[in-house]
Structure 1
Amino acid sequence: MATEPTTDAEPGGAGAGTGEAPRSRAGGAFTIIIAIADIVVPIALYYVFRAFGFPELDSLLISSVAPIVSFVAQGLVMRRLDGFAIFIGAVLALNIAVALTSADPRTLLARDGWITGLAGLFFLATLWAKRPFVFSIVRPLGEGRLGPPGEDWDSVWDRFALFRRVWRVLTVIWGVGLVVDAVIRLVFAYTLPVDIVPASNGIQYVIVYALLQVMSQVYFKRSGLLQLPGFSFTRRKTL
């Protein structure tokens, strides 16, 4: 996800001269590639194997391997495990258990809904943590560009109630949005023809992500955060 402060770093901003900014940009690009692979590759695998005459269940089992491979690849490249990565790993482990024990293709199709729903609940649960999850996602790219110049986000968090509210509201937007998305996926998994569901899931990911992005951007711009005393937002200069 990306709100207004998640653009690339301004030269001389946070991490300048330390290698932090290039790593963030590389990591962000890799994450986008992984996200695309997690959506496109499983769908492609399913329809390729169906075209070769494989049963629905076997095609779904084969396509379910792709997210596991991408998760391992991401761990090897990024060489770090944060709380959300551990959460995703646990969900994938649950997926493996379901895949190995299920004889019903609709149970496998419903996994996308359960994963999305659990992710949404995870977002909402972090409202009671020290920092909401959207704050943690945006901070590596936004700190040093959004807020009083030279002030770290821990200090900004302590000083400005509106700053705290913005990240909590954004976390609610994404958490509730993902839960609603999950309900729709579960309904589709058990009502649509099996061969339609993988493609509809992929299309739904794009639509829901776009809607949540627009809602986040509109809220952020109307929140009044940039009107706080001393606040500024520095964009990266384009070449």
Structure 2
Amino acid sequence: MGKSLVTLLCDIAAPVGGYYLLRAFDVAPVWALTLGGLPPALRVLYLAARHRRVDGMGIFVLLIVAVGLVTTLATGDARLQLVRGAWFSVLIGLWMLASLRIGRRPTTYQATLALVPRRAAELEDRWADTPSFRRVWRVLAVVWGLGGLVHSAFSIVLAYTLPVDVVPGLDTVLSIASFVVLQVVTQVLLAREGTMNRMWARR
């Protein structure tokens, strides 16, 4: 619970709160966006130093911050800063959809294996002998891939049609709502398929 709270504060509350705090001191929007994005990167660097490794999500966060800094220095365009995360989300969405044809497993399933390494062998057994289990992870790759693309499209439209100062807060709400909806759909589909429920019940 404590780790989740720290993650929530660093990755969501600090960037948005930091942006509006800096704007209250008349910091230019493009620099407020850049500096507001530093807390997640600092958290990743702290964890990397502590555990001597960086996971895929950490690399993703560092890439977004790096692209934001380069964008600020090269263009000074606040709207390009606002959509930097959306373009990464587009790539991730396309990657999830492509994983249905490229590679041995859908990205959604591979991500689950990484999250529960102690159950990896059992999950792989289910993948090998349960067609409905394989099917649900392929469906989830489509759900998350298309969901990411739709969310990114909305984020880009917001960034280029609304006042800059409105977008960070509104886009954060949109991101949270999208994640919650996709998580609910994921849990419903997994519950209907039933394999995961039976596995967790035996723990």
Using structure 1 for the length normalisation, give the TM-score: 0.72
Question: For 2:149, which of 179, 184, 187 is the aligned residue?
Answer: 179
Deviation digits for residues 49-82 of structure 1 (CA, Å, limit 9, x no counterpart)? 1111222222122213223223323333443345
- Checking the alignment, whether the CA contact within 8 Å between 1:123 and 1:133 is kept in structure 2 is yes
Work out whether 1:116 is the aligned partner of 2:82. no
Q: Which residue of 1 aligns with 2:79?
A: 106
**What does residue range 106-145 of structure 1 map to in structure 2 within 5 Å?**
106-127=79-100, 128-139=102-113, 140-141=115-116, 144=119
- Checking the alignment, whether the CA contact within 8 Å between 2:34 and 2:72 is kept in structure 1 is yes
Gaps of 5+ in 2: none
Q: Which residue of 2 aligns with 1:157?
A: 127
CA distance, structure 2, for counterparts of residue 218 and residue 167 of structure 1: 12
CA shift for structure 1 position 188:
0.2
Structure number with bigger Rg: 1
CA distance, structure 2, for counterparts of residue 154 and residue 169 of structure 1: 17
Between Structure 1 and Structure 2, the one with more helix by share is 2
The answer to which structure, 1 or 2, has the higher relative contact order (CA under 8 A, 6+ apart) is 1
CA distance, structure 1, for counterparts of residue 22 and residue 61 of structure 2: 26
* Aligned length, in residue pairs: 201
What code does the residue aligned with 2:199 have?
A: F
CA distance, structure 2, for counterparts of residue 86 and residue 212 of structure 1: 23
- Checking the alignment, whether the CA contact within 8 Å between 2:34 and 2:68 is kept in structure 1 is no
Distance 1:169 1:34, change over 3 A: same
CA distance, structure 1, for counterparts of residue 41 and residue 135 of structure 2: 35
Range moving further from structure 2, 161-170 or 215-224 = 215-224
**What does residue range 88-99 of structure 1 map to in structure 2 within 5 Å?**
88-99=61-72
Work out whether 1:76 is the aligned partner of 2:49. yes
Q: Which residue of 2 aligns with 1:19?
A: none
Question: For 1:233, which of 187, 199, 203 is the aligned residue?
Answer: 199
Q: Which residue of 1 aligns with 2:12?
A: 39
Distance 1:105 1:84, change over 3 A: closer
Distance 1:109 1:91, change over 3 A: closer
- Checking the alignment, whether the CA contact within 8 Å between 2:34 and 2:65 is kept in structure 1 is no
CA distance, structure 1, for counterparts of residue 3 and residue 111 of structure 2: 15
What code does the residue aligned with 2:41 have?
A: I
CA shift for structure 1 position 45:
0.8
Identity of aligned residues (%): 31
C-alpha RMSD of the superposition:
2.8
Deviation digits for residues 137-193 of structure 1 (CA, Å, limit 9, x no counterpart)? 22343864x9xxxx6222322222222111121122111111110000000000011
